[in-house]
């Protein structure tokens, strides 16, 4: 289980425990956190689960694969370093303390 902090664009924080094996997107969806729409349900086909990863965590996450890189081209104001799709981030104990910031809007 990992404690993940989801930060809305306006600054409101949601700290939730997310079970191992889920994705960071599923953690947001299952806890009713606004700002992550996840229109495709986690199939890496829409970019509506885009977030900015906290600076302290960028290097700790697995690298983006080609499919995620391609989908991020469709995200709203993607950052080449900090942008990730939360459907591609599998939760493990190693993500305990992760902070993600939602963009102003999705797409």
Model's pTM, two decimal places? 0.96
What is the pLDDT at residue 58? 97
Please tell me the total count of domains within the chain: 1
Give the pLDDT of residue 22.
98
Q: Is residue 67 part of a domain?
A: yes
Q: Which two tokens stand for residue 21?
A: 């094996």
The answer for residues whose C-beta is within 8 angstroms of residue 46's C-beta and 6 or more apart is 38, 39, 40, 71, 74, 107
Could you read off the pLDDT tens digit of each residue along the chain, which spans 107 residues?
999 999 999 999 999 999 999 999 999 999 999 999 999 999 999 999 999 999 999 999 999 999 999 999 999 999 999 999 999 999 999 999 999 999 999 98
Residue 69 belongs to domain with CATH number: 3.10.20.30
* Domain span at 87: 1-99
In 3-state terms, what secondary structure has residue 69?
helix
């Amino acid at each position: 289980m990992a404690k993940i902090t989801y930060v809305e664009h306006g600054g409101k924080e949601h700290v939730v425990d997310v079970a191992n094996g889920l994705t960071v997107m599923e953690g947001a969806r299952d806890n009713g956190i606004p700002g992550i729409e996840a229109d495709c349900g986690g199939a890496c086909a829409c970019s509506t689960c885009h977030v900015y990863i906290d600076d302290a965590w960028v290097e700790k996450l697995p690298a983006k694969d080609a499919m995620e890189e391609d989908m991020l081209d469709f995200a709203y104001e993607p950052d080449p370093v900090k942008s990730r799709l939360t459907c591609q981030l599998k939760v493990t104990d190693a993500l305990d303390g992760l902070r993600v910031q939602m963009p102003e809007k999705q797409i």
